Amino acid sequence: MTTRPDVTVTVIVYNDAARLPRAVASLRAQTHANIEIVISDDHSTDDTPTVARRLAERDHRIRYIRLPENSGGCSAPRNRAVEIARAPYLMFLDSDDELPPGAVASLLAAHREREVDFTMGAVRRVRVDTGRRSTWMPHLVTERRTVEGIEQDPRLFFEHLSTGKMYARSFLDRHRLRFPEGIHYEDQLFSAQAYCLAKAFTIVPDPVYIWYIEPFAAESAASISNQRHRISNVRDRVHVQRLIDEFLAAGGHAGLREDKDYKFLKHDFRMYAGDLPYRDEEWLASFAEIMNPYLDTLSPGAYARLPRPERVVLELLRQGRTAEARLAARGLGHGVAPRRVTSDGTGVPYWGDGVPVTERARRELDLSDLELDTRPFPAAWFRHEITELTFGSGATLTLAIRTYDPGLRLPVGPQRASLLLTPGRRRMTVPFRLDPVRPGVFDGTVRLDLAAASLPLQGFAGVRHPLVRLEQQGLSNAALLLAPLGFPPRRVRVAHHDLTVEAEGRGPGRLQLSWRPTGVTARVIRPVARRVARPRVRAAARLVASVLR
C-alpha cells in the first residue's frame, strides 16, 4: 500500500477462522475504499493464521500481525494494531461482527464536516439464534448531533462500546488513550475516558456496526458479557467500575458520578439481577460478598432513579436476604407482585413479612409507588406460581396454582380464573377456580390437555408461555405463570409435533411450552405453506380467484 489510507480498521481475532473472512469481507465492501485493514491475532491456535495470511494475499490493503502470546482479552491486540496504524482515523471491529457498507464513509464524513475527537453511529444487533434485529441504545442515536462534552448528555455512558466509533488518532495520542490491558470490560473504561476527555464528538443516526449476539453460545465460545455465571466475571466488572470511579475523581469529573452509578445499576447490575433466580446459595453468597461493598459506595440519587422492583432486589441483596432477592428478581420487568407486604402504623406497605428497621431499608422497600391496591384491575399486579406439576397420560398436565394478591384486589370467596394458551390463531381457554386460603392467597387446580390445542394446518413451530386470567366486574387481568425452576423437561407427541414442557431457562422462569413439527407436517405441508405465503404467490392466487369469480 503506497497511498496513505484515510482510515485504519482493526479486526481483532482469536481462534475464529470460520468467521474472520466474513468480517474482512464487510470491510472490503466499504463504499469508502481508501482504508487500511489490520488483522490483529491474539495468538490463535486454530487455523486463523492461515486464513488471515490468505486474506492479506488477496488485498494489498490488508496487513496481518500476530501477538507472540495470548493476552486473554481484546485490549492488547487492539493496542498493537494502533501502534502500526497508518491512518489519521481509527476504527475497531471484532472478528464475529461486521460493518455495514457505508459505515466508514458515514463516520469519516462527520469528521470532515467538523473537527471532533470521535464520531459514532447506530449499532445494529442481530440475534444469531432467531435472526431478530434491533438497535443498541436507539434513543441515543436517533438524530445527528454534535455533543460538546459528556456533561451535555450523560446518558451516553450507557453506550459504552468502543466499536461503532471512529477516533481521531491525534485525540488518542494527545491523551495517551489506549485500551487497558490485563482486565475484562476494557470497553467500559476506555469509553468512559474517551467521553470525558473529548471536547466534542458527533453522533450520526446511520448504522455503522453489526453486532451478532449469541445468548446461548457454548461456554467455551461465549463472550465475556455472556459469562455472568462465573464469579470471576462479577469481580472483573466491579473492578472496572472502581477504575472508572477513580478516573472520574482524578480528572475533575466527580459531578458525573451519579449518572455513571445509575448506568451501572440500571445496566450492569440489572444483567446479573435477571439471573439471580437461577443461582444457588453458594453463588449468591459470593456474589453479595463482591457486589455489596461496591454498592455501598454508589450515589443514593442513582438508586432513586431506578424502578421500585429493582430497588427492592438491590436492598434485599445488601441486607444479605439472598433467598428473598432471588424471589423478587423473578418479577423484574413483568409486573409480578411480591408474595406478601407488611404495612406500618401509617399504612405504608413494605416488601416481605415485617416493617424494615433502618431508614435506608424503609426507603428502598417501600412499595407505595407500585399502587398494589389502587391500580386499574387490568393492570393490577398478582403473582401466580405453580406449586405442583403432575404429568398424566398422553399430553395431559395437572397444575396446582397459588395466586398471591398482596393488594387485596380480589373479593372474599372463590374466584373465576382461566389458563390462556395460543399456539396457533385460536386461543385455548381452560377455566378453573381459585379458592381462598387466607387473605390475599388463593389456591386452584387446572387440568390442561395439550393435545386439545388447536394447531394450524401447516403446523406450529414456536414457544408459548401460558397466562392466568382473572375476571372482576367485566374486567380481566392476564399475568404470567411462574414455574418451579427445578422440574425436568417433559417431551410428548401431539398431532405431528414434538412438544416440550419445561421451565423457562431465563428471566422470570415462566411455564414454557415448545412445539416442533415432525413427519409429513415438517417435510411437506410447512414447505408448501411457506411457498404459498410468499407475496408473489399470494398475489397470483388472488388474481386467479378474481378471474374465476
Q: Note whether 56 and 36 are same-domain residues.
A: yes
- What is the span of the domain harbouring residue 362? 254-370
Yes or no: say if 59 and 13 are a contact pair by the CB < 8 Å rule. Answer: no
| Residues of the chain above pLDDT 70, percent | 94
Which alpha helices (H) appear in 251-307, and where do they start and end?
Answer: 257-263, 270-273, 281-295, 300-304
The DSSP bridge pattern shows strands 118-127 and 201-213 to be parallel
Question: Tens digits of per-residue pLDDT, 214-226?
Answer: 875 544 444 545 6
**Using alpha carbons only, how large is the chain's radius of gyration in Å?**
27
530 pLDDT tier (thresholds 50, 70, 90) = confident
535 occurs within a structural domain = no
Yes or no: say if 77 and 69 are a contact pair by the CB < 8 Å rule. Answer: no
Q: Note whether 120 and 210 are same-domain residues.
A: yes
Q: Note whether 86 and 116 are same-domain residues.
A: yes
Q: Note whether 120 and 89 are same-domain residues.
A: yes
Q: Note whether 351 and 413 are same-domain residues.
A: no
Question: Tens digits of per-residue pLDDT, 192-210?
Answer: 999 999 999 999 999 999 9
Q: Give residue 9's Cα distance to chain centre.
A: 27
Q: Cβ contacts of residue 320 below 8 Å, gap of 6+? A: 288
143 occurs within a structural domain = yes
Give the CATH number for residue 385. Answer: 2.60.40
446 occurs within a structural domain = yes
Of residues 215 and 162, the one with the higher pLDDT is: 162
329 occurs within a structural domain = yes
Question: Any idea what DSSP says for residue 370?
Answer: G
443 occurs within a structural domain = yes
The pLDDT of residue 129? 87
- Alpha-carbon distance of 382 to 347, in angstroms, equals 20
Give the CATH number for residue 45. Answer: 3.90.550.10
- Alpha-carbon distance of 463 to 465, in angstroms, equals 7
Q: Note whether 53 and 89 are same-domain residues.
A: yes
pLDDT higher than 80, residue 541: no
- Alpha-carbon distance of 253 to 542, in angstroms, equals 65
Question: Tens digits of per-residue pLDDT, 454-477?
Answer: 888 889 999 999 999 999 999 999
Of residues 153 and 523, the one with the higher pLDDT is: 153
The pLDDT of residue 399? 97
Burial class (CB in 10 A: 0-12, 13-18, 19+), 528: exposed
Q: Note whether 303 and 386 are same-domain residues.
A: no
Site of grid cell 440519587: 301
Q: Note whether 386 and 349 are same-domain residues.
A: no
Q: Note whether 389 and 502 are same-domain residues.
A: yes
Question: Tens digits of per-residue pLDDT, 63-113?
Answer: 999 999 999 999 999 999 999 999 999 999 999 999 999 999 999 999 999
Please tell me the total count of domains within the chain: 3
Candidates 334, 332, 335, 333; CA nearest to 316 is 332
The pLDDT of residue 537? 43
Question: Tens digits of per-residue pLDDT, 248-294?
Answer: 999 999 999 999 999 999 999 999 999 999 999 999 999 999 999 99
Q: Note whether 488 and 461 are same-domain residues.
A: yes
Candidates 210, 202, 121; CA nearest to 168 is 202
The pLDDT of residue 547? 43
Q: Give the residue from 324, 346, 370 where a domain finishes.
A: 370
| Residues of the chain above pLDDT 90, percent | 86
- Alpha-carbon distance of 124 to 134, in angstroms, equals 6
The pLDDT of residue 425? 80
The pLDDT of residue 86? 97
Average pLDDT over residues 493-521: 92
The pLDDT of residue 130? 85
Which alpha helices (H) appear in 140-218, and where do they start and end?
Answer: 169-174, 186-197
Burial class (CB in 10 A: 0-12, 13-18, 19+), 213: buried
475 occurs within a structural domain = yes
Q: Note whether 140 and 69 are same-domain residues.
A: yes
Q: Give residue 96's Cα distance to chain centre.
A: 18
Question: Which cell numbers hold the place of 193?
Answer: 475516558
The DSSP bridge pattern shows strands 165-168 and 341-343 to be unpaired
Burial 105-120 (b: 16+ CB within 10 A, else e): bbbbebbeeeebbbbb
Please report, for residues 398, 421, 499, the alpha-carbon distance to residue 430 in angstroms, rounded to integers and kept in the order given.
Answer: 12, 9, 19
Is residue 318 helix, strand or coil?
helix
526 pLDDT tier (thresholds 50, 70, 90) = confident
Q: Note whether 201 and 94 are same-domain residues.
A: yes
The pLDDT of residue 3? 86
545 pLDDT tier (thresholds 50, 70, 90) = very low
What kind and span of H or E run contains 400?
A: strand 396-404
Question: Tens digits of per-residue pLDDT, 332-355?
Answer: 999 999 999 999 989 999 999 999
The pLDDT of residue 226? 60
The pLDDT of residue 214? 86
Question: Tens digits of per-residue pLDDT, 225-254?
Answer: 567 789 999 999 999 999 999 999 999 999
Cβ atoms within 10 Å, residue 52: 26
- Alpha-carbon distance of 63 to 57, in angstroms, equals 9
pLDDT higher than 60, residue 152: yes
233 occurs within a structural domain = no
Mean pLDDT of the chain: 93
544 pLDDT tier (thresholds 50, 70, 90) = very low
528 occurs within a structural domain = no
Average pLDDT over residues 371-387: 97
